[in-house]
């Protein structure tokens, strides 16, 4: 039961005796009761009372700071084009794009005939989201004959999507195929049927199904179901030449891929290569061959080809390299398109099938983020690319390979104004305690004093091999204009410096991730970007776990920390195989159920388990009641334990979105409001000017 007297006092919740024993170790967890026994339904009155008390306390904190929050909101909103739209992309007989109407929270999706004709509104998120606290369009796939669209809709944040088929001529929904869809559905070649994936009661994508449009749902058939490994998830894709449907199953380290002709998905699936622990591969198809990206003999992957009639026999096309990290491939008609990374920098390569000649698409900045954009067609005349840097707004390019011509199609517009010459960026290589060097991308406004006197905002993720790119952020300008430097630490656990960089931050090397972040912070102090206690930090999900670990180990470095949907109750979650993600997460974190060494190691760093009686920096913690990835009780338990344990009087806030999931609120303005709240927390707790300094 909640002990808060009123919303101006920090909420307190009772401790209820609860313990368990594993591997001979007894663990006390007096806040375990905050997990509703009927989850995913949450209706325990004591739990709801506590969460509402925390939200009321957060609202009370906001009240005297509302002017700053509103100012930040208007600044960030002012950098968003109200009628923003995407660049039209040609796919078959139509160009497709989305657009916002001024003031709208959600997009509208359009198309028009490539040969000319009127615009057609094919999906209106504004209308679909009306009256709903949460709305998300998960996917929209148009049939090859352009007559139908398969759409996935989530209206509560649970990431269990309704799959509907819409007639694009009438705008009417023909049927709801499933209530528990996920991923992207795939159309058959004749546009008469769909292949889609579903989640089970534990929110695991476990099977692929075939449904003929208009047929009774009872006739829907399963074409693949994952039964061997409950940690594996099933996903779908279609080859770039549209001849094959791929059914892939795997976890974070192991994959297994099957394929079937898109013209007849009810035929038996063909296996490319059997699963083997820590072997990853993916495939595409063109010119009668499979093109395979695999890590079977090099940590940075290689490229091979195979005959679909003998898919297990691979011929090497591009060998693995210590210098070049091969990240993805797409087999277009004229080129094999490769996304690679060299020394942490994105490189986009086009390879000629016949000659093997490779061409790197040129970019001039010393540090940037680049990738292939939306290229649905098999033989495009130009390849659509995306690009930005810490000071260059997002830019869409078309690259014509035969003319060697790189043409900017659209540059992100900042309506309130932006002058890149007013800002500067550095890329640092900062030493770690074990002799490595961590890349850190930093951006700041001209005039920033590197004398240790100014505040710094440090961001990182550090898990699952996901690299945080050194890209542009319009919202970030609100901090830069208030005297902050903004830094991204490219720590181990991401794959910024190659796949080994990821491997060196997982399992028994997980603490390298936390140490890298701390060492990057200390390195920035050593280079006079800031001083201890003047660093604000933020991370979400696994990055929220990072936040929890570093405030336990080095609280003195930080003046404010934002932990979004933080994965902080690591030990308890990894011990509970009934939770949605747990079995699939064991390759990333270890399995403490069967492995005592993993149990001991996870317990040694799990932020919730390692909360101690010490001073903590000001903390803003967020969560979502419907979040299937990081369940609401992780941030709730962590906040409750911190309140009862920490020795300081610093601000501690917990905000639980009662109608949203892992990504927070869904509308674009609502999302900006949450960002404004986080920045207001940082500025008021860590320091910085409340009013932005205008550019000279």
Of 616, 426, 590, 431, the closest CA to residue 516 belongs to: 431
What integer is the mean pLDDT of 251-267? 95
Orientation of helix 633-645 relative to helix 45-62, angle to 10°:
70
Of the pLDDT bands very low, low, confident and very high (cuts 50, 70, 90), residue 695 is low
Which helix (H) or strand (E) is 259 found in, with range? strand 255-261
Report the candidate in 224, 244, 227 with the shortest Cα–Cα distance to residue 235.
224
Question: Is 72 in a helix, a strand, or coil?
Answer: helix
Coil, helix or strand at residue 217: helix
Mean pLDDT of 482-486: 97
- How is 381-410 classified by DSSP, letter by letter? SSEEEEEE-SSS--EEEEEETTTTEEEEEE
Residue 662 pLDDT? 58
From the CB of residue 228, how many other CB atoms can be counted at a distance below 10 Å?
10
Strands 405-411 and 456-459: unpaired
What whole-number distance in Å separates Cα of residue 373 and Cα of residue 397? 9
169 alpha-carbon distance from chain centroid = 34
- Write out the E strands in 593-672: 619-624, 652-657
How many distinct structural domains can be found in the chain? Answer: 2
> Is 166 a domain residue?
no
Q: Give 648-669 as a DSSP string.
A: S---EEEEEETT-BTTB--SHH
Q: Is 696 exposed, middle or buried (0-12, 13-18, 19+ CB in 10 A)?
A: exposed
Residue 293 forms part of a structural domain: no
Task: Answer whether 622's CB lies under 8 Å from 564's CB.
Answer: yes
| Interior angle at CA 67, CA 136 and CA 649, nearest 5 | 90
- Residue 34 falls within a domain, yes or no? yes
CA atoms within 13 A on the CB side of 56: 16
Tokens of 40: 């995913």
Give pLDDT, residue 568: 98
Considering the chain, what is the average pLDDT of its residues?
Answer: 94
Helices (H) and strands (E) in the chain, counts: 12, 37
Residue with tokens 């499979």: 290
- Whether residue 637 lies inside any domain: the answer is yes
541 a catalytic residue: yes
Contact yes or no for 292/282 (Cβ under 8 A): yes
Q: Are 538 and 566 in the same domain?
A: yes
Chain centre distance of CA 518: 23
Residues whose CB is less than 8 angstroms from the CB of residue 430 and which lie 6 or more positions away in sequence, other chains included: 437, 438, 440, 519, 520, 523, 524, 527
Please tell me the predicted confidence (pLDDT) of residue 664: 57
Q: What percent of the chain has pLDDT over 70?
A: 97
d(CA 35, CA 51): 12
Q: What are phi and psi of 388, to 5 degrees?
A: -165, 170
> What percent of the chain clears pLDDT 90, i.e. is strictly above it?
89
Assigned token pair, 495: 């794959």
CATH of the domain at 445: 3.40.50.1820
Three-class DSSP labels, 317-338: EECCCCCEEEEEEEECCCEEEE
Distances in Å between the Cα of 617 and the Cα atoms of 455, 474, 476, 620, 646 are 15, 27, 22, 10, 10
* Distance, CA of 441 to chain centre: 19
pLDDT band with cut points at 50, 70 and 90 for residue 203 = confident
Cα gap 553→155, rounded to integer Å: 39
User: Which domain does 125 fall in, by range?
Assistant: 88-131
pLDDT in tens, 349-375: 999 999 999 999 999 888 899 999 999
- pTM for the complete prediction? 0.91
What does the radius of gyration of the chain's CA atoms come to, in whole angstroms?
A: 25
Determine the pLDDT at residue 3.
43
Is residue 496 located within the same domain as residue 518? yes
CA angle 232, 237, 239 (to 5 degrees): 135
Are 92 and 70 members of one domain? Answer: no
Tell whether 455 and 551 lie within a shared domain. Answer: yes
Furthest-apart CA atoms within the chain: distance in Å: 75
Determine whether 627 is an active site residue.
Answer: yes
| Nearest residue to 677 (alpha-carbon basis) of 69, 83, 173 | 69
Say if residue 56 is in the same domain as residue 94. Answer: no
Which residues have CB under 8 Å from 491's CB, separation 6+?
438, 460, 462, 505, 512, 513, 516, 517, 520
Please report which confidence band the pLDDT of residue 661 belongs to, taking 50, 70 and 90 as the band edges. low
- 545: tokens are 């776990």
The per-residue pLDDT for range 433-462, each reduced to its tens digit, is 999 999 999 999 999 999 999 999 999 999
For residue 666, what pLDDT is reported? 59
Residue 38 and residue 109 share a domain: no
Residue 663, pLDDT score: 58
pLDDT range class, residue 235, cuts 50, 70, 90: very high
579, 632: one domain: yes
Q: Select from 246, 252, 266, 197 the least CA-distant residue to 225.
A: 197
The answer to whether residues 564 and 660 belong to one domain is yes
Q: Which tokens in the block code for residue 610?
A: 């390692």
- How far apart, in whole angstroms, are the C-alpha atoms of residue 578 and residue 460? 29
Each residue's pLDDT tens digit, 498-538: 999 999 999 999 999 999 999 999 999 999 999 999 999 99
Asked, for residue 412, whether it belongs to a domain, the answer is no
Catalytic residue among 158, 541, 606, 666: 541
Instruction: Indicate if 518 and 469 belong to the same structural domain.
Output: yes
**pLDDT band (50, 70, 90) for residue 62:** very high
CA distances from 559 to 455, 458, 539, 686 (A): 9, 11, 15, 5
Is 119 part of any domain? yes
User: Domain for residue 30, yes or no?
Assistant: yes
Rounded to whole angstroms, the Cα distance separating 2 from 654 reads 14
Q: For 1-57, write each residue's pLDDT tens digit.
A: 444 445 778 998 999 999 999 999 999 999 999 999 999 899 999 999 999 999 999
Residue 35 in tokens: 């997990």
Query: Residue 206, by phi and psi: left (phi above 0), alpha (psi -120 to 50) or beta?
Result: alpha
Edge-to-edge, what's the strand order for the sheet holding 270-271? 233-238, 244-250, 255-261, 270-271
Neighbours of 287 (CB within 10 A): 12
Same structural domain, 545 and 468: yes
Q: Is residue 26 part of a domain?
A: yes
DSSP state at residue 507? G
pLDDT per residue as tens digits for the range 265-295? 999 999 999 999 999 999 999 999 999 999 9
Are 57 and 112 in the same domain? no
Q: How confident is the model at residue 628 (pLDDT cuts 50, 70, 90)?
A: confident
The Cα 679–Cα 671 span in angstroms is 13
Residues 73 and 115 in one domain: no
Q: Is the pLDDT of residue 656 over 60?
A: yes
Q: What pLDDT was estimated at residue 594? A: 97
**How high is the pLDDT of residue 1?**
41
What does each C-alpha distance from 116 to 24, 29, 169, 233, 316 come to in angstroms? 73, 65, 17, 42, 45
Do residues 407 and 681 touch, judged by C-beta distance below 8 A? no
For 370-423, write each residue's pLDDT tens digit.
999 999 999 999 999 999 999 999 999 999 999 999 999 999 999 999 999 999
Whole-angstrom distance, CA of residue 565 vs CA of residue 629: 9
């Amino acid at each position: 039961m909640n002990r808060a007297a009123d919303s101006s006092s920090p909420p307190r919740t009772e401790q209820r005796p609860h313990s368990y024993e594993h591997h001979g170790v007894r663990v006390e967890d007096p806040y375990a009761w905050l997990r509703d026994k009927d989850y995913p339904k949450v209706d325990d009155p004591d739990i709801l009372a506590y969460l509402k008390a925390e939200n009321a306390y957060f609202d009370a904190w906001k009240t005297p700071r509302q002017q700053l929050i509103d100012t930040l909101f208007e600044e960030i909103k002012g950098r968003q084009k109200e009628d923003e739209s995407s660049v039209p992309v040609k796919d078959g007989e139509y160009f497709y794009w989305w657009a916002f109407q001024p003031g709208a929270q959600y997009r509208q999706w359009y198309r028009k005939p490539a040969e000319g004709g009127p615009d057609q509104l094919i999906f209106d998120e504004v209308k679909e989201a009306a009256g709903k606290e949460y709305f998300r369009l998960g996917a929209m796939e148009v049939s090859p004959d352009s007559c139908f669209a398969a759409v996935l809709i989530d209206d509560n944040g649970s990431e269990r999507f309704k799959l509907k088929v819409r007639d694009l001529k009438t705008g009417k929904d023909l049927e709801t195929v499933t209530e528990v869809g996920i991923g992207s559905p795939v159309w058959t070649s004749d546009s008469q049927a769909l292949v889609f994936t579903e989640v089970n009661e534990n929110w695991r994508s476990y099977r692929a199904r075939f449904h003929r449009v208009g047929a009774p749902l009872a006739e829907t058939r399963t074409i693949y179901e994952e039964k061997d490994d409950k940690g594996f998830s099933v996903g779908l894709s279609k080859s770039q030449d549209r001849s094959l449907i791929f059914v892939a199953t795997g976890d974070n380290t192991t994959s297994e891929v099957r394929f079937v002709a898109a013209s007849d998905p009810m035929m038996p699936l063909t296996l490319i290569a059997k699963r083997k622990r820590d072997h990853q591969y993916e495939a595409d198809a063109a010119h009668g061959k499979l093109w395979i990206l695999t890590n079977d003999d090099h940590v940075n992957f290689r490229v091979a080809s195979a005959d679909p009639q003998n898919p297990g026999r691979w011929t090497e096309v591009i060998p693995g390299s210590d210098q070049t990290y091969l990240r993805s491939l797409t087999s277009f008609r004229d080129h094999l398109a490769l996304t690679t990374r060299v020394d942490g920098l994105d490189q986009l390569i086009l390879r000629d099938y016949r000659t093997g000649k490779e061409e790197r698409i040129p970019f001039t900045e010393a540090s940037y983020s680049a990738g292939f954009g939306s290229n649905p067609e098999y033989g495009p005349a130009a390849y659509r690319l995306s690009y930005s840097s810490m000071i260059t707004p997002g830019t869409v390019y078309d690259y014509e390979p035969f003319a060697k011509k790189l043409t900017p199609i659209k540059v992100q517009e900042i309506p309130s104004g932006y002058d890149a010459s007013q800002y500067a960026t550095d890329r640092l290589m900062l030493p770690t305690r074990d002799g490595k060097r961590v890349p850190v991308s930093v951006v700041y406004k001209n005039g920033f004093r590197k004398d240790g006197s100014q505040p710094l905002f440090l961001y990182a993720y550090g898990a699952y091999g996901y690299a945080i790119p050194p890209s542009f952020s319009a919202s970030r300008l609100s901090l830069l204009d208030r005297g902050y430097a903004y830094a991204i630490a490219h720590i181990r656990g991401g794959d910024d410096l190659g796949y080994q960089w990821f491997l060196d931050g997982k399992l028994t090397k997980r603490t390298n991730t936390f140490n890298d972040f701390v060492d990057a912070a200390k390195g920035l102090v050593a280079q006079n970007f800031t001083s201890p206690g003047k660093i604000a930090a933020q991370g979400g999900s696994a990055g929220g776990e990072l936040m929890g670990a570093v405030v336990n180990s080095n609280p003195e470095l930080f003046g404010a920390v934002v932990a979004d949907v933080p994965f902080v109750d690591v030990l308890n979650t990894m011990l509970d195989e009934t939770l949605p993600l747990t079995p699939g997460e064991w390759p990333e974190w270890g399995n403490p159920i069967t492995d005592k060494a993993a149990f001991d190691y996870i317990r040694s760093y799990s932020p919730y388990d390692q909360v101690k009686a010490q001073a903590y920096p000001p903390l803003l913690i967020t969560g979502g009641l419907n979040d299937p990835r990081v369940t609401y009780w992780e941030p709730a338990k962590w906040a409750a334990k911190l309140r009862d344990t920490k020795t300081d009087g610093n601000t501690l806030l917990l905000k639980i979105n009662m109608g949203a999931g892992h990504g927070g609120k869904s509308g674009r303005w609502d999302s900006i409001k949450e960002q404004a709240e986080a920045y207001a927390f940082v500025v008021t707790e860590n320091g910085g000017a409340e009013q932005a300094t205008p550019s000279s």
